[in-house]
Amino acid sequence: MAKNEQRSSKHISSPHARESEELLQELDTNAEQGLSQEEAEKRLEEYGPNELEEQEQKSLLALLISQVNNPVIYLLTAACALAFAFGDTPEAIAIIVVIVLNTAIGFWMEFQARQSLKALKKMDIIKAQVVRDGEEREINAEHLAPGDILLLKTGALAPADGRILSESELSVDESPLTGESVPVDKDTKPLGEDTQVADRKNMVFKGTAITNGSARVVVTATGMQTEIGNISAMVSSAEDEQAPLDKKLQRLSRRLIWATLGLAALFFLFGWMAGKSIYQLVQTAIAWTIAAIPEGLPIVASIALAKGMLRLAKRNVIVKRLSAVETLGEATVIFTDKTGTLTENRLTLDTLQLEGARIRADWKEDGAKAGLSAQGNDTPPGKEDKRLRSFFRIATLCNDALLAEERNEEEAEEGKGDPLDQALLHFCKAYDEEWYEKLRGLERLAEEPFDSEDMVMGTVSKVEDSIFLSGKGAPQAMLDRCSRVLTPDGVKKLDEESRENWINYNEELSEAGLRVIAFAYKELSEKPSEEADVEEKLMQDMVLVGLAGFIDPPRKEVREAVELCQQAGIKVEMVTGDHPGTARNIGAQVAIVEDKQARAIHGSELREIEKDRPQEAVDTAIFARVDPEQKLNLVKLYQENGEVVGMTGDGVNDAPALKKSDIGIAMGKRGTQVATEVADLVLKDDSFPSIVEAIREGRIIFGNIRKFIVYQLSYHLSEILLIALVSFTVFELPLLPLQLLFLNLLSDVFPALALGIGRGSENVMLQKPKDPEEAILTREHWIRIGAYGLILTLALVGAYFFAREYWGMSPEACNNVAFFSLAFAQLWHVFDMREADEPIFNNQVTRNKFIWGALILCTAVIVAAYFIPTLKTALSFQALSARVWGLIAVTSVLPLLVIQLLKVLTKGRAFQF
pLDDT(365) > 60:
no
What totals of helices (H) and strands (E) does the chain contain, helices first? 32, 25
Instruction: Report how far residue 48's alpha carbon sits from residue 468's, in angstroms, rounded to the nearest whole number.
Output: 57
Q: Percent of the chain at pLDDT above 90? A: 31
- Do the Cβ atoms of 36 and 133 come closer than 8 Å? yes
Instruction: Report how far residue 315's alpha carbon sits from residue 682's, in angstroms, rounded to the nearest whole number.
Output: 11
- What distances in angstroms separate CA 399 from CA 351, 363, 403, 414, 488, one per listed residue? 19, 21, 11, 17, 25
pLDDT(720) > 50:
yes
Instruction: Report how far residue 722's alpha carbon sits from residue 797's, in angstroms, rounded to the nearest whole number.
Output: 6
Query: What's the pLDDT at 686?
Result: 81
Query: What's the pLDDT at 340?
Result: 77
Query: What's the pLDDT at 292?
Result: 65
Instruction: Report how far residue 529's alpha carbon sits from residue 522's, in angstroms, rounded to the nearest whole number.
Output: 16
pLDDT(313) > 70:
yes
Average of per-residue pLDDT values in the chain: 83
The amino acid present at 833, given as its one-letter code, is M
Q: What is the pLDDT of residues 626-679, one digit of tens each?
A: 877 888 889 989 998 888 899 987 766 677 888 888 888 888 776 665 677 678
Query: What's the pLDDT at 659?
Result: 81
Instruction: Report how far residue 211's alpha carbon sits from residue 40's, in angstroms, rounded to the nearest whole number.
Output: 28
Q: Hey, which residues does 458 pair with through a beta bridge?
A: 448, 471
120 closest CA partner among 224, 199, 39, 274: 224
User: What is the distance of C-alpha 872 from the center of its chain?
Assistant: 52
Could you list the active site residues? 337
Q: DSSP alpha helices (H): ranges in 314-374?
A: 322-329
Instruction: Report how far residue 218's alpha carbon sits from residue 29's, in angstroms, rounded to the nearest whole number.
Output: 9
Instruction: Name the least confident of 281-295, 538-552, 779-793.
Output: 281-295
Instruction: Name the least confident of 52-61, 330-339, 784-793.
Output: 52-61
Please indicate whether residue 654 or residue 49 has the higher confidence score (pLDDT): 49
Q: What is the pLDDT of residues 528-568, one digit of tens each?
A: 887 777 778 888 899 999 999 999 888 888 999 999 999 99
- Do the Cβ atoms of 715 and 826 come closer than 8 Å? yes
Q: Mean pLDDT throughout 63-86?
A: 74
Q: Is 745 helix (H, G, I), strand (E, B) or coil?
A: helix
Q: What is the pLDDT of residues 237-279, one digit of tens each?
A: 555 555 566 667 677 777 777 777 777 777 777 777 767 677 6
pLDDT band at residue 753, thresholds of 50, 70 and 90? Answer: confident
Query: What's the pLDDT at 498?
Result: 93
Query: What's the pLDDT at 579?
Result: 83
Instruction: Report how far residue 321's alpha carbon sits from residue 172's, in angstroms, rounded to the nearest whole number.
Output: 35
The DSSP secondary-structure symbol of 579 reads -
pLDDT band at residue 402, thresholds of 50, 70 and 90? Answer: confident
Q: Given the DSSP bridges, would you call strands 571-575 and 490-493 parallel, antiparallel or unpaired?
A: unpaired
Q: Mean pLDDT throughout 14-27?
A: 90
**CB 115: neighbour CB atoms within 10 A?**
14
Q: Is 207 helix (H, G, I), strand (E, B) or coil?
A: coil
Instruction: Report how far residue 232's alpha carbon sits from residue 841's, in angstroms, rounded to the nearest whole number.
Output: 56
